[in-house]
Structure formats: C-alpha cells, structure tokens
Amino acid sequence: MTTMRWWRGAVIYQIYPRSFLDTNGDGIGDLPGIVEKLDYIASLGVDAIWVSPFFRSPMADFGYDIADYRDVDPMFGTLEDFDRLLAKAHALGLKVMIDQVLSHTSIEHEWFKESRASRDNPKADWYVWADAKPDGTPPNNWMSLFGGVAWQWEPRRRQYFLHNFLASQPDLNFHNPAVRQAQLDNVKFWLDRGVDGFRLDAINFCFHDAQLRDNPPKPEALRVGRGFAPDNPYAFQYHHYNNTQPQNLAFLEDIRALMDRYPDVTALGEISSEDSLATMSEYVQPGRLHMGYSFELLTDDFTATYIRDTAERLEASMVDGWPCWAISNHDVQRAVTRWGNGDASDALARQLVALVCSLRGSVCLYQGEELGLPEVDVPYELLQDPYGRTFWPNFKGRDGCRTPMPWTDGEHGGFTGGAPWLPVVGTHRSRSVSRQENNAASVLNTVRAFLRWRRSQPALTEGGIRFLDTPEPVLAFVREKAGDRLLAAFNLSATPVDCSLELGAVTALHAPGIANGRLESGRLFLPAHGALYATLG
C-alpha cells in the first residue's frame, strides 16, 4: 500500500481479543496473545488490524460497554501491552485501528455514576434523561435494539435514562457540547498514543431527537432487519428519532478536523439506519469520515442480484466517498454458514474472500475467515451473549461467531491452557492454523496467495467498478484504473454454470487458488463456487 491514504483498498483484519489467543490461562484472549500472533497476521498479506474493544469494562456487552476509555481492562493486559502491540505491528508494516464506542458508556462509568446521583450535579445533563409520562410509563415508544423498551427507570433522579442497547449501556447526551468535547478528547488520547485509525461503533447513534418524538410504526411486511433477531420488537418501528439525527454530521466533521491534525490516519464508521447506504454516503462526504461500513452484506441474501443492487445503489450515491465491505464480523453468523445453505465448503470459503476483496472499497476480514470457519452451534447452557439468552431459541445470539480461534487441533484448539470462555469445537480444530499451514491448497494458503496477488492489481485496490448483465447465480463486474480493465466473475452456486458473456479480447489472469473458470467464444464457464479473473483488451 502507498504511505498516504493507505486505507483506500486496504484489507483490515478484525481481531476479537477475548477469542484470539489466551496467554495467561484464564480462558480469555488478551493483548499479549495478539502480540504473539502478529507475525501470523502479517503473513496473511493484510494491511491493518482492527482490534475490538479492550478498554476497562464490566463486560455486560463484552467490552462495548466502556467504563474507562483510556485504560486497558486487566483481563486483556495493560497499556504497556498495547504499546508493545502497536510497536510490533508497525515494525511488521501493519496499521492498527481500534474501536471507539462514543454513543454510550457502561453504567459503571464515572460519568454515569455522577449523572445518576441527582438532577443538579456537574454531569447531570451528560446522559439522556427524561421524565415519566403522568401514568409513570416511559417518555416515548423507543425500543432497544437488544429487546424491550429503550428506557430504564432511575429512582435516584426519579427519571428514565435512554439506552439504545442494553440497560447497562446508557446513551450520552451529545446535545451537550461538553460531552462532545470529552469524547473528542478520548479519541485524541489514542491518536497521541500512535494508533492509525478507528472503527467508530454505532456512530449514527450519537444524537437523539431532542423533542423525544415517537417513532412511527412499521408495517408488518417490512419488519426485517440486519443484525437483530427476527422476532425483536425493535423491527416494529421506523427509527427516525432515536438515531441518525442531522446534528450528527457536525460532530463527524469535528472528528475529522481532529484527525486531520495527524498524518495518515483513518476513521471507519459503522452505520445501521433505516437506509444505511444513504447514511453511509452522507457520512463519508468530504470533511467527514474517511470510510463507511454497514450491514448490507451481513444478511442472508446471497444472490448476484442482491450484491449487485447493493453495490450499485452505493456507487450511485457515494460519488466522493469510500466504502468498506464486510461479510462476517463478531455480530452475525459466519458467512460460510449463512451463505452456504448447510455446505460450508472450502470452495465457498475461498470464493467469499475473493469476492469481497474484489468489490470497490476497503475490506474487513474477520478472524477465522481465512480458515473457512463455520458457525458454531453453542448450546444454551454455554451461552454468554445476553442478546442470545433473551431471544433463545428463535435467535441464538452472537456467540456462534465469537468462539476462539483454533490454532492447533489439540485441546481447546491451542487457544488456552485453561477452560475457554466459549467452546472450541471439532469442526474448528479440523480447520486449525496448524492443520492448514503446510497444505498449499488449504483455504489459509489460498487466501494468503490471493491477497498477495491482489496487491499487485491496482484495478482491484483502487479502480472503479461496472457490473455486467449476467443471469443468476453469476456475478460479474469490471474494475478499471488508468486504462487497465480487469474482469471478475463468480458463480455463487454449488453447481457448475455457463452463460453468454461477450467481452471481446480477454486474457485470463492467474489469481492463485481462486481463478478456476474460463471464457471461450463468448461463453463463461465456472465450476461450483468458481471464479475467473481476466484482463480486457
């Protein structure tokens, strides 16, 4: 990658710290474990790491409930451990991005402890407080994404506080300029420490409607959503007022102005709104965030039509901005299971990495995608995720994608010398790093070879994109930069396909372990979950 704007076209490897590697035997991954495996990450050919929250926290939502923005939780290590991580990553040529959860804190944060104590203390207006209705019910109809009403009664103040997520995650009041400045100061703390960027969690949730207007109901046929249980009442309304408020744009500009004081850093916003693609486009306009990231490809819809329509909608609106794509993360079922219809094959695993890394934009790869890991069916008695326990059995939560990395095929996959916080199952140990390391045809080594090859293709890292008319299940598009045109075509099904594709003179490219299709006499032939890359004359 170039030294400036390294993030454009970058492949960012997401690390979920508590499931990566445990070095002290407590069954929970830690920062020293990440340091130990940075050479492995660098060997993948990625450009950066994104480390999910490791801040001091009571762990009600596993670190996304922050009690101290400027300290490492002891279960993960120390600030000195983070500094070692940063130094070693930089020595290996890896950029380091970290989560910033700005919209809410933990109920254990000192700010909230002070704010809840009375209505007239210095932090009284730092959170979203509201009086009850005359009958004692909450001030409006807003719902929590994790189920139930979004308001919690606080007897000390005789008021409700807002929580868009868990009741132990109270929302900050961003209408208060002191709150905005305090969060900018927390961002600055990590910039001064040397991080290269941030993944801004739920960044469109910072502001709420100051009038506390009710959200309108959503027709039953439209009650579908990304990232939450299908029977969650959160889907019963349009979320016009509890997030994605216009005032948020000025705060994004404040974040950007701060970050522009530091060389070569980036901000990636996670966005989930009523129209996430439109919000992404708005949030990455010049002077705001560098990149946007949404749940659009984290759905169950694995069709060429859906992927094309999603990318084209974004391209049509995001003229000046830069997208970032992901098909797996710590919040959704793993892609090979979600899109494999019960067949989490190596061919599908290889194809999915190639596909997401061929779209225009940057990419987040979630730990284990390079191994082709399927979802784990965690039994109820071992569930840790409060979201899963609430909606069991219709929705089993997020533990199935958060189980520990299998480094070996031994006990607990070499993740820990103790008892792991979530189980390491046999289907994962059989796909461990040690099992795949010496097999040139493994998913792991195919991903390594493909990512190295991708770096040599400017059309893939920074080129424009134009989709071609092909029938299901074929997805085909052309990436172009400075006159170089590269065709990428994928068969999204488990059976071979051929279709008409007239493109004139083409030269097949060797994308290691991925490209196994051919284009002859105006017909495209692709094996099951196959792909083709070719240059166009």
pLDDT at 225: 59
Residue 501 structure tokens: 């594709």
pLDDT at 163 over 50: yes
Q: What integer is the mean pLDDT of 406-432?
A: 97
Residue 279: pLDDT band by 50, 70, 90 thresholds? very high
List alpha helices for 109-247, DSSP H: 110-115, 177-193
User: Whole-angstrom Cα distance, residue 56 to residue 65?
Assistant: 9
Residue 229: pLDDT band by 50, 70, 90 thresholds? low
Name the active-site residue from 65, 171, 201, 282.
201
Residue 1: pLDDT band by 50, 70, 90 thresholds? very low
**Phi and psi at residue 498, to the nearest 5°:** -145, 145
266-271 and 197-200 strand pairing: parallel
Q: What integer is the mean pLDDT of 11-32?
A: 98
pLDDT digits (tens, 9 = 90+) for 235-267: 999 999 999 999 999 999 999 999 999 999 999
Q: What integer is the mean pLDDT of 191-204?
A: 98
Q: What integer is the mean pLDDT of 392-400?
A: 91
Sign of CA dihedral 99, 100, 104, 105: positive
pLDDT at 230: 61
User: Whole-angstrom Cα distance, residue 43 to residue 353?
Assistant: 16
pTM: 0.97
Least confident of 26-35, 168-177, 196-205, 387-396: 387-396
Residue 214: pLDDT band by 50, 70, 90 thresholds? very high
User: Whole-angstrom Cα distance, residue 32 to residue 17?
Assistant: 10
pLDDT at 320: 83
| Mean pLDDT, all residues of the chain | 95
**346, 341, 423, 339: which is closest to 379 by C-alpha?**
423
Q: What integer is the mean pLDDT of 423-435?
A: 97
Is 270 a known active-site residue? Answer: yes
pLDDT digits (tens, 9 = 90+) for 354-368: 999 999 999 999 999
Residue 212 structure tokens: 């506390």
User: Whole-angstrom Cα distance, residue 140 to residue 131?
Assistant: 10
pLDDT at 325: 97
User: Whole-angstrom Cα distance, residue 115 to residue 107?
Assistant: 10
pLDDT at 319: 81
**296, 292, 298: which is closest to 320 by C-alpha?**
292
**Phi and psi at residue 369, to the nearest 5°:** -60, -35
Write out the H or E segment, with its range, that includes residue 355. helix 346-356
Dihedral Cα 235, 362, 515, 346, nearest 10 deg: -50
pLDDT digits (tens, 9 = 90+) for 486-536: 999 999 999 999 999 988 778 878 787 787 899 988 999 999 999 999 999
What single DSSP character describes residue 296?
T
Q: Is 275 exposed, middle or buried (0-12, 13-18, 19+ CB in 10 A)?
A: middle
Residue 527 structure tokens: 């094996």
pLDDT at 221: 87
pLDDT at 512: 79
Is 80 a known active-site residue? Answer: no
Name the active-site residue from 270, 282, 315, 331.
270
Q: What integer is the mean pLDDT of 39-58?
A: 98
Residue 2: pLDDT band by 50, 70, 90 thresholds? very low
Q: What percent of the chain has pLDDT over 70?
A: 98
pLDDT at 479 over 60: yes
What is the set of domains in the chain, with CATH numbers? 11-105+176-454 (3.20.20.80), 463-536 (2.60.40.1180)
CA 144 to chain CA centroid, nearest Å? 20
pLDDT at 284 over 50: yes
pLDDT at 516: 86
